[in-house]
Amino acid sequence: MRSDEPYYPINTAADRAILYGYRMMMEPYPNVIFGGRLGSYKYLDMHQAIDAALKTFENEVTAFLAGQDIPERVVMAG
Ligand SMILES: Cc1cc2nc3c(=O)[nH]c(=O)nc-3n(C[C@H](O)[C@H](O)[C@H](O)COP(=O)(O)OP(=O)(O)OC[C@H]3O[C@@H](n4cnc5c(N)ncnc54)[C@H](O)[C@@H]3O)c2cc1C
C-alpha cells in the first residue's frame, strides 16, 4: 500500500490513536458539531451517514433552534 493511499479506519490501536488525536484537536471547539465519515472517523455506509446526520439534527440542532440551553453551535459535516 502506498503511504498516501486513503483507507478506512478499522479500529486498530493505530486508528484509535489517530482518533484520540482528532478528539484533542476538537476540544477547543465545543460549539462545532463534527459528523460524517471524516468528522466521526468511522466507516459509515450511506444509510448510517444519513441516519447519524438526522439524529444529530434532531438531538442537537432542533434543541438549539428551540432555544434550549445548548450553546451556539455550528454544524460541520464531512
Ligand atoms: C468507492 C466507494 C463506494 C461506496 N459504495 C457504497 C455503497 O455501495 N453503499 C453505501 O451505503 N455506501 C457506499 N459508500 C460509502 C458512502 O459513500 C459514504 O457512507 C457516505 O458518502 C458518507 O457520507 P459523509 O457525508 O460522511 O462523507 P462524504 O460523502 O465523503 O462527504 C465528505 C465531504 O467533505 C468534503 N471535505 C473533505 N475534506 C474537507 C475539508 N477539509 N474542507 C471542506 N470539505 C471537505 C469532501 O469533499 C466531501 O464532499 C461508498 C464509498 C466509496 C468511497
For 52-74, what is the mean pLDDT?
78
Considering the domain boundaries, does residue 1 fall inside one? no
Mean of per-residue pLDDT scores for the chain: 83
Residue 31 vs residue 14, higher pLDDT = 14
In a domain, 56, yes or no: yes
Q: What is the mean pLDDT of residues 1-9?
A: 69
Ligand 1 centre distance from Cα of residue 38 (Å): 8
Q: Is 37 in the pocket of ligand 1 (CB under 6 A)?
A: yes
Residue 32 covered by a domain: yes
Beta bridge partners of 77: 35
Residue 29 within any structural domain of the chain: yes
Domain count across the chain: 1
36 contacts 55 by C-beta, under 8 angstroms: no
Considering only CA atoms, which residue is closest to atom 29 of ligand 1? 78
**Residue 3 covered by a domain:** no
Residue nearest to atom 40 of ligand 1 (CA): 78
67 ligand 1 Cβ < 6 A: no
Per DSSP (E only), the strands in the chain are 32-35, 74-77
Full residue range of the structural domain in which residue 50 is found: 13-77
Please, what sign has the CA dihedral across residues 24, 16, 10, 61? negative
- Alpha-carbon torsion, ordered 48, 54, 59, 65, to 10 deg: 160
pLDDT at 46 over 70: yes
* Domain assignment present for 49: yes
